[in-house]
Amino acid sequence: MSILWVLGLGSYLLYDRFWPGHTGTVVVLSDPAGADIWMDLVPTGRVTPAEMRDVPQGKHSFTVRKGGERPSPFVQVVPVARASVDTLTFVFEESGTAPAGSDLYGSTTPPTLVPPAAEDISDRVKRELPWEVERKIPLSSETTHVSRSSTRTTTSYIEEGEQLSGITSGRDHGAFVRDSSNTDAADISTSNVEISSSVPGALIIVNDKPIGKTTPAVVALPLGTHTVRVELAGYNTEPEQHVVRLSRIAGGQLVYFTLTEELRARKEITITTEPVAGPIFVNGDSVGIGLAVIPHDFGVFEISFGHMEGYLTPEPQRLVVTPTKPNPTITAKYPRAFEVSATCQGNGEAARTGDIRWETGIYDRDKGVRTSDTHGPKINEIPGSSKSGWELAMGDPNRNPTGADYIEFIFTLPDEVPPSSPLNLRLYLYRSNRKYPLSLSSRCEVTVTVNGRVFLDNFRPRNDQSLADAGRYEEWSLQHSLVTGENRILIRTGDKNQIFNYLWKFEVL
């Protein structure tokens, strides 16, 4: 029985380790095509477009290289799952061609290694165990540079005492950073590190010292342990740093940082106007038209708006800005201007403004309104005034009850003027000292209806006939009382009215 368990466990482990299907496929594309494909900092020998099969499970970095041009994005990291297919696309920037003689990525050809010169045991210790003893530059070392513009190989030398850019690693051993964009030959005591970030242009810092390079970049670091981080003004970095451990066995490595924009504390007032771009004023000073974003200190602000032809000007606003609401937003609406009016003139005629008409007649409590050419209000002179008006009194003196005079104004509210617009009704209505015949009472009553609903019920006009020449009026809000389309406003004397009233002018605006 134990033998069966061992055979079963061994078979499962062999299946899980060697059976096909533990790999995925990555399709790599570039625009333009024909770029060399690198995976995990190693050239694959394939060019785009290509289908990379049998890629082991796990995270892998991919980039493409073509004649020194810069791809976007610079590098892509993809988690390869079993039997998955991932597609990566790189686009080369139009202006990304590198200057002559430079190499943005390093050669795609494996570097030429120079056989080591004879050395004693102390030199070998210094080379292979750099964290144990301070590293010294050898008397003479040879580095091979391969230029893209020529196949000629040139050789340069580093003489004893010549200093390189020094960076101390986490183990306090001497180190230097070599930008692989300038040197194609690999030092056997260094390893490439590809450093990239989600937002390019971040400053690269190795072992707490800036190296003068920004992401994305490929740099060469000495074997050993190093800390790598990046900084970009206005962004937070995730993670804060990477710890990189380089060895001959591990080979090159990729570090990647995700940068997110910081949420800055703002103190701004945002003011907009709709549906037109109107002038905006703060404390009497012009700050913009249509949109204004004003930095501020906490306090009280007076917001006002300028006139726009064909629109009503929004009311001024008083704004109090406190630390609990440091970024207030104000949206001011310019209502579409609308106006209709009818005005009596001295010749017995009436002038009109806008699309408006009117009907006159007699109102009877039992029968309602009845249009009449012979009865109803007539245009007469207002007593004690130079103006004329519709005379609202008894409907028919020959009847009992006499009824009441009425005048009904009819106009259309267009679609672009919603009923919620701040429209008002103005009545230039004056009561007189003239009473009905045989009446001893001076009772005054006037009723106004809007679209069949009572709007003012038996109210007494505030202004008498002596104020007619001054053009005094009374005003009421019609907001939400009108409807889109045809509207009717009826004005009549009340059932118990005993005096003559005069309407000089009717306005809706």
Q: What is the pLDDT of residues 151-161, one digit of tens each?
A: 333 333 333 33
What pLDDT, on the 0 to 100 scale, is given for residue 28? 92
Task: State the fold for domain 268-333.
Answer: Immunoglobulin-like (2.60.40)
What pLDDT, on the 0 to 100 scale, is given for residue 263? 64
What pLDDT, on the 0 to 100 scale, is given for residue 271? 96
Q: How confident is the model at residue 120 (pLDDT cuts 50, 70, 90)?
A: low
What pLDDT, on the 0 to 100 scale, is given for residue 1? 67
Residue 120 β-bridge partners: none
Determine the residue type at 437. P
| pLDDT value at 35 more than 80 | yes
Q: How confident is the model at residue 181 (pLDDT cuts 50, 70, 90)?
A: very low
Better pLDDT: 121 or 337:
337
Phi, psi (degrees; rounded to nearest 5) at 195: -115, 125
Per-residue CA distances from 488 to 266, 423, 460, 507 (Å): 51, 15, 21, 13
Token digits for 490?
């009826």
Count helices and strands in the chain by DSSP H and E runs: 2, 39
48-52, 172-176, 183-187, 415-419: segment of lowest average pLDDT:
172-176
What pLDDT, on the 0 to 100 scale, is given for residue 126? 54
Determine the residue type at 315. E
What pLDDT, on the 0 to 100 scale, is given for residue 214? 93
Better pLDDT: 113 or 366:
366
Per-residue CA distances from 404 to 393, 413, 446, 488 (Å): 6, 28, 10, 18
Most confident stretch, 74-83, 239-248, 470-479: 470-479
Cβ neighbors of 485 (< 8 A, separation 6 or more) are 412, 413
What pLDDT, on the 0 to 100 scale, is given for residue 186? 44
Q: How confident is the model at residue 184 (pLDDT cuts 50, 70, 90)?
A: very low
Q: How confident is the model at residue 148 (pLDDT cuts 50, 70, 90)?
A: very low
| pLDDT value at 170 more than 90 | no
**Superfamily grouping for domain 340-508:** Galactose-binding domain-like (2.60.120.260)
Token digits for 93?
């920037």
What pLDDT, on the 0 to 100 scale, is given for residue 247? 84
Domain residue extents for the chain: 25-92, 121-261, 268-333, 340-508
How many angstroms separate the CA atoms of 85 and 91, rounded?
A: 20
Per-residue CA distances from 448 to 458, 468, 485 (Å): 8, 20, 20
| pLDDT value at 365 more than 60 | yes
Q: How confident is the model at residue 134 (pLDDT cuts 50, 70, 90)?
A: very low
Better pLDDT: 307 or 130:
307
How many angstroms separate the CA atoms of 278 and 312, rounded?
A: 11
What pLDDT, on the 0 to 100 scale, is given for residue 503? 98
Better pLDDT: 484 or 422:
484
SS3 14: helix
| pLDDT value at 175 more than 60 | no
Helix-strand-coil split of the chain, %, nearest 5: 5, 50, 45
What pLDDT, on the 0 to 100 scale, is given for residue 433? 94
Token digits for 124?
């070998």
How many angstroms separate the CA atoms of 188 and 222, rounded?
A: 9
Better pLDDT: 60 or 281:
281
Is it true that 25-92 and 268-333 share their CATH fold?
yes
What pLDDT, on the 0 to 100 scale, is given for residue 266? 67
Mean pLDDT computed over every residue of the chain: 81
Task: State the fold for domain 25-92.
Answer: Immunoglobulin-like (2.60.40)
Better pLDDT: 450 or 11:
450
Query: pLDDT for 440-449, tens place per residue?
Result: 899 999 999 9
What pLDDT, on the 0 to 100 scale, is given for residue 367? 85
What pLDDT, on the 0 to 100 scale, is given for residue 93? 76
Nearest alpha-carbon partner for 288 in 305, 312, 267: 305
| pLDDT value at 165 more than 50 | no
Mean pLDDT of 316-326: 89
Query: pLDDT for 217-260, tens place per residue?
Result: 999 899 889 999 999 988 999 999 999 888 877 777 888 999 98
Mean pLDDT of 18-34: 81
Kindly report the pTM of this predicted structure: 0.47
Per-residue CA distances from 384 to 343, 434, 467 (Å): 18, 11, 10
Mean pLDDT of 455-474: 95
